[in-house]
Amino acid sequence: MSVKILLDPILTAAPSRCSTFIQFTTFMRRVLEEDKRTDVFFYCLLPKWDWPQEEHDWLPKHPNIVYVPVDQHKDRTREYITFRYDMLEKVAFNGTMWDWDVLVTVRSGLAALYKMHAMSPRQPGLSFTKQVWVIEDMPLMSFKKSVLQLAPAIQDRYTLDGYLAADRAVVMSYHEKDEALRVGRQWYAPSVIRELHAKLKEVVPVQFFDFTKKDKTAFFVPGKDQRFNVAYVGRLMTHMSNIDKIYKVMTNQWIIRGGDKVRMMVLTNSVGGKKKVQPPDYMEKFYASREEFWRIARDEMHVLMIMHGEAGFLLSMIEPMMLGTPAIVGREKWSVGQLGKDYPFFVDTETEAYAMLKMFYEDYAGMYERYAAWMDDWFIPTYKKRFSEDLLYDVLCNYLHEFESTVIDRYKAASPSKAENEIVKLLAKDAPEEFELLDRIAQLAESGELRSLDRKLDEDDRETRGLAWSTPWNDFRMSLKAHYGFEDASPKVGHLRKKA
């Protein structure tokens, strides 16, 4: 069955460097390039920012993709809680993009509004024809230390109500589902918590197949003619990264070892930023490509240091660890969710981090033996299972398959009389091989065959007509698809064709 998907990301950087937007583009590539679907079409919303040409060149290009410019503020939290008018005008059942079937969004709290505006009051019992899926990569909740706390109790219910309203909801970190349920127990009955538990699906946004360990020739050995390479990987930010503590631990090790024995590496995509998050001059700062980053992680890093107080799925930590680099990691709920409670190199304080780094310097082989055992016992089997069962794009494609394999039969069962609806019959009778639905209605009105809907084709009709009297155009589209053998023809709104 043909399906139209409306993608609603929030960008925090240029498209090629925004992890959230990369998830959306990866989903499009998976459906269109890997699965080679010709009957799935995407409307992808894109902020009206001034992108350099290389960013436009980076965007996936495909006949089944249309990029739709929208207003978007660069403050991420502000976007999470703002339902802009131009967004309403697109998602509404009587709006300009009325034929979407699935809306994928990161604005979890707005899922309820999206669901309501997508359906006409004339369509009781048909809300299953418009699904809203939430990709939760920044829960705006009180347990999340890294988000702004505007009105914590209200934010909690705003977000949880969004999950409940959504048809599907996935979370990007292996501790956030449990935290959301814990907070929800303050407000909801056990039956509602069970509904949330069943709906929230934990996912990972990337997949790896190669887990490697360092060759012993790459081990650090005190006294040899080599340097002890300690690295930080990630954004240069003051909030929640504890980057100042990492710099301090690195520097102390550097001073004690005489300077020339310790190499401090900072790998980041952050451009600019406050002076206090910049590494000191005696540290090496890299803006590495993906390939160069993997090479450095595999061949040069001895130890990674991560001390975030809060994080989601931290790819900048997981990738080097999969390539065989052990990490000294602050013990937090997010890190226990990603590395398991028995990870051997958790630390609780800056002093413990310094002591752990000292142990790696003095006995790298012995410490690495513990890391290799943990990789074999927990890391590799756990992440192979997660990649097999929880990969975001597999999960979304499974949701898509379930939707498209059931929605037409459900529609027929819910509205059997639509096959005999006079307007639907008129639209289908002597229809050309392909047409745009509203143009077809206008042509029939001009010929005198259909006079009841022509006034509603004016561009400003939805501004002046009440909801109860506005026509749900998608109902005609669904009826033509369900009863008369039509399918979507392109990412043009209302563009249909007869099935071959």
Supply the pLDDT for residue 272: 56
Closest-CA residue to 329 (of 302, 293, 356): 356
Considering the domain architecture, whether residues 302 and 352 belong to the same structural domain is answered as yes
Contact in structure between 445 and 454 (CB atoms under 8 Å): yes
Considering the domain architecture, whether residues 265 and 352 belong to the same structural domain is answered as yes
Is residue 486 domain-resident? yes
Considering the domain architecture, whether residues 344 and 237 belong to the same structural domain is answered as yes
- Domain range holding 119? 3-207+391-402
Which residues, including other chains, have CB under 8 Å from residue 150's CB and lie 6 or more apart?
77, 81
Supply the pLDDT for residue 292: 79
Considering the domain architecture, whether residues 246 and 354 belong to the same structural domain is answered as yes
Considering the domain architecture, whether residues 396 and 314 belong to the same structural domain is answered as no
How crowded is residue 402: how many other Cβ atoms within 10 Å of its Cβ?
12
Supply the pLDDT for residue 246: 75
Domain CATH number, residue 29: 3.40.50.2000
408, exposed or middle or buried, with CB in 10 Å at 0-12, 13-18, 19+? middle
Q: What is the dihedral of CA 149, 151, 154, 159, to 10 degrees?
A: -20
Is residue 479 domain-resident? yes
Considering the domain architecture, whether residues 184 and 243 belong to the same structural domain is answered as no
Q: How is residue 280 annotated by DSSP?
A: P
Is residue 385 domain-resident? no
pLDDT tens string 124-155: 899 999 999 999 999 999 998 888 899 999 99
What are the C-alpha distances in Å from 387 to residues 194, 209, 319, 380, 456? 25, 9, 13, 10, 49
**Residue ranges of the chain with per-residue pLDDT less than 70:** 235-242, 253-259, 269-282, 286, 288, 290
Closest-CA residue to 160 (of 124, 189, 131, 130): 189
Is residue 410 domain-resident? no
Q: Domain count of the chain?
A: 3
Considering the domain architecture, whether residues 98 and 238 belong to the same structural domain is answered as no
Considering the domain architecture, whether residues 104 and 10 belong to the same structural domain is answered as yes
pLDDT tens string 450-485: 888 888 988 888 888 999 999 999 999 999 999 999
- The C-alpha atoms of residue 34 and residue 28 are separated, in whole angstroms, by 9
Considering the domain architecture, whether residues 449 and 488 belong to the same structural domain is answered as yes
Considering the domain architecture, whether residues 24 and 146 belong to the same structural domain is answered as yes
Q: Which two tokens stand for residue 126?
A: 């048909």
Is residue 80 domain-resident? yes
Is residue 369 domain-resident? yes
Which string of b and e fits 359-396 if b means at least 16 CB within 10 Å?
ebbeebeebbeebeebbeebbeeebeebeeebbbbbbb
Is residue 386 domain-resident? no
Considering the domain architecture, whether residues 338 and 466 belong to the same structural domain is answered as no
- The C-alpha atoms of residue 373 and residue 472 are separated, in whole angstroms, by 60
pTM, full prediction: 0.89
Considering the domain architecture, whether residues 337 and 442 belong to the same structural domain is answered as no
Is residue 300 domain-resident? yes
